[in-house]
Amino acid sequence: MTKIGIIGGSGLDDPNLMKDYEEVNIKTKYGIPSSALVKGSIKGVDVVILARHGKDHSIYPTGVNYRANIMALKESGCTHIIATTAVGSLREEISPGHIVFPDQFIDFTKKREYTFFDEGKVIHTSTADPFSDPLRKILIDGAKRLGLKHHKKGTVITIEGPRFSTRAESHMFRLLGADIINMSTVPEVSLAKEAGLEYATVAMSTDYDCWKENEEPVTFEMVMKTMKNNSENVKKLILDVIPRI
């Protein structure tokens, strides 16, 4: 039976959207997740929503307990995860406001807990294709259906944060082949892969990082403003695809 975990929120924990919802506090082997889980149903589908950075956005990217978050959703019976994230664009054609459905990642983090298999039997998980292609296809079809400006694929590079890139780093990431940049996809996606969950990301482009000389360098205020202006599109997309998964 399909149960969908949504990481990020995107306003979907609105009581007017969810049916028979409740907030549940949970503790896993790896500790307490970033927020209480909001459990309910949307359009007849069981949904569990988790706020990655806490309900008040108080947890910085490296401080997120990614293992507890993924395990909490796994133990709640989730089979699929849709993760929402703000990203900086490293490509001219990915304008602020566009949605990207990444199919690859580059890990540029340094300090995070990366695996569930750090004790006992060692298991090496293939991440050649880290994101779920079937789930990505459903999301892409939804974006087409709604007429949203989107990109079917892209490589996301995840940095440690919370600081933004230098210009030199931003240019280097472009040379490495990254299309978008954020601070949260890794190790979230690879942990979901280890847990056997179908995971895909809805990435909202909010800025051009700092590589584009005729654009203002990214600021937190810029990210939040663009997300606020475009979050309704992300919400519409997720509401559209939930019954199709």
Catalytic residue (choose from 13, 103, 179, 209): 209
List the single range of 87-96, 190-199, 216-225 with lowest mean pLDDT: 216-225
Give me the pLDDT at residue 11, please.
58
Catalytic residue (choose from 46, 107, 207, 240): 207
Tokens in use for 236? Answer: 């519409």
First CA to last CA distance, the chain: 11
Over residues 95-108, the pLDDT tens digits come to: 999 999 999 999 99
In sequence order, the β-bridge partners of residue 24 are: 37
Tokens in use for 186? Answer: 């890794």
42 by DSSP, 3-state: which?
strand
Domains and CATH numbers, the chain: 3-244 (3.40.50.1580)
Most confident of 39-48, 120-129, 146-155: 146-155
Tell whether pTM > 0.85.
yes
Helix, strand, coil content of the chain in percent (nearest 5) = 30, 25, 45
* CA angle 63–212–183, rounded 5-degree value: 10
Q: Maximum distance among all alpha carbons in the chain?
A: 52
207 classed as catalytic:
yes
Give the position of tokens 């298999």: 117
Q: Is the peptide bond before 162 cis (omega within 30 degrees of 0)?
A: yes
185-194 and 66-75 are packed helices; what angle lies between their axes, rounded to 10 degrees?
A: 40
In angstroms, the CA 61 to CA 223 distance is 15
Give me the pLDDT at residue 190, please.
98
For 17-29, the DSSP string reads: TSEEEEEE---BT
14 classed as catalytic:
no
Tokens in use for 68? Answer: 């507890």
The helix or strand, by DSSP H or E, that contains position 89, with its residue range, turns out to be strand 80-89
Over residues 199-244, the pLDDT tens digits come to: 999 999 999 999 998 888 888 888 878 777 788 899 899 999 999 9
Give me the pLDDT at residue 229, please.
76
